Amino acid sequence: MKKFKLLTTTALSFAMSFTPAFAQVTAIGDGEGEVSIVAWAGYIERGETDKAFDWVTKFEADTGCKVSVKTANTSDEMVALMNEGGFDLVTASGDASLRLIAGGRVQPINIDLIPSWSTIDDRLKDAPWHTVNGVHYGVPYMWGPNVLMYNTEVFKEPPTSWNVVFEKMDLPDGKSNEGRVQAYDGPIHIADAAQYLMFHKPELGITSPYELNDAQYAAAIELLRGQRQLVGRYWHDAFIQMDDFKNEGVVASGSWPFQVNILKSEGQPVASTIPQEGATGWADTTMMHVDSKHPNCAYKWMEHSLASNLQADLSVWFGANPAVPAACTDGRGMQTAEGCTANGLDDFEKIRFWTTPTANCSQGEGACVPYYRWVSDYIGVIGGR
């Protein structure tokens, strides 16, 4: 795992109290000919993986803005890339977005220049992971859960608990889970351990997997040290994880609907579930670099990203939920109301969305373990320390 440059807790607290800036862009002009985007795997498709899924080619033809994409595998990698600069946009999850705002790496968005803003899900418009003091720093893109992906030849019935990846046991095929499970290669995985403990050790008093005092945090780290003995590989590359399920004997792991959908389309024996403990998840926002060299193309892309046909096809492709609810019902794209329900559109309140842990939390000022410790300690866990 890379050691990324981190923001201090003080900087994150500053993000909540600073005097709001104003959007740099007041009118959209002609495109500059290109736009560069840092994105999660599968987010910006041009038909190369599957010809049916392409929301780039027509945009380029209509606007003259050539789209280039840099895939990032973790939120920390996204923050590092945006710190380095040279990109226009990023599809940031909640555990990266506030760090980008606090670090001055992204600029406020002029929502008056986004004609489709009114179509966004009301639950996302003012979400705290991209809105500070009433100022919007991005355009919602998509949201969904972190699911438990499993091999259906090993599990004839869906696993009912995340214990199959957290605790040593024999699986339904009679073989041990040692070396046959995976965990996410990112410090935010500590939240998955904390959520598991919320269910199984209520005496710890955990109320949010992102707000952990020292005792709660220590319990989560201890659980992850035990998991280290089971994990065959910590995954961060979606395509490598898919290969591991196909060729390396991996049978259970936290994953994204994206991997599940692709593997199922290839006829692989996989399925997914959200076990009894619930799930963490992500609500991702397209954010604009403070020094974007192609702001007109960037704004054109942000508007394009809210088209209901794009949102519908993206929802089908990734197995997640559109930021524009009409994408589920208006028939402009591949998605249907039934498909959105199956993807969890009605489960918004049940998902604990990624957010950046800070020392100042609802338990009191300085009561919680800040993110920089999550990073250093998770490196230690993966390294067997």
User: pLDDT averaged over consecutive 10-residue blocks of the chain (385 residues)?
Assistant: 35 46 86 97 93 96 98 94 97 94 95 97 94 95 95 98 98 98 96 98 97 97 98 95 98 94 94 95 97 98 98 95 97 95 87 92 92 96 88
Q: How high is the pLDDT of residue 260? A: 93
DSSP 274-335: --TT-EEEEEEEEEEBTT-S-HHHHHHHHHHTT-HHHHHHHHHHHTSEESSGGGGTSSSSS-
The pLDDT of residue 20 is 55
Residue 255 near residue 151 (C-beta atoms within 8 A): no
List the domain boundaries for the chain.
Answer: 9-144+281-353
Which helix (H) or strand (E) segment holds residue 91: the answer is strand 89-92
Residue 92: which of 287, 295, 320 has the closest Cα? 287
Tokens matching residue 380:
């230690």
CA distances in angstroms from 107 to 12, 21, 65, 122, 290, listed in the order given: 16, 8, 20, 22, 5
**The predicted structure's pLDDT at residue 1:** 32
Do 9 and 358 contact (CB within 8 A), yes or no?
A: yes
Please give the pLDDT value at position 380.
96
Give which of 354, 362, 359 is closest to 372, Cα–Cα.
359
Query: Quick one: pLDDT at residue 347?
Result: 86
Q: Do strands 351-353 and 279-288 pair parallel, antiparallel, or not at all (unpaired)?
A: parallel
pLDDT at 350: 85
- Does domain 9-144+281-353 sit in CATH 3.40.190.10? yes
Enter the DSSP assignment of 113.
Answer: G
3-state secondary structure of 209: coil
Provide the pairing of β-strand 66-71 with 270-273. Answer: unpaired
In 3D space, the residue among 180, 189, 132, 137 whose CA is nearest the CA of residue 159 turns out to be 180
| Residues recorded for the chain | 385
Nearest to 106 by CA among 357, 360, 292: 292
Give the pLDDT confidence score for residue 24 in this predicted structure. 87
**What burial letters (b/e) apply to 242-264, b meaning 16+ CB within 10 Å?**
bebbeeeebbbbbbbbbbbbbbb
pLDDT, residue 22, reads 76
Residues contacting residue 146 through CB under 8 Å, at least 6 positions apart: 184, 192, 254, 255, 256, 279, 280, 281, 282
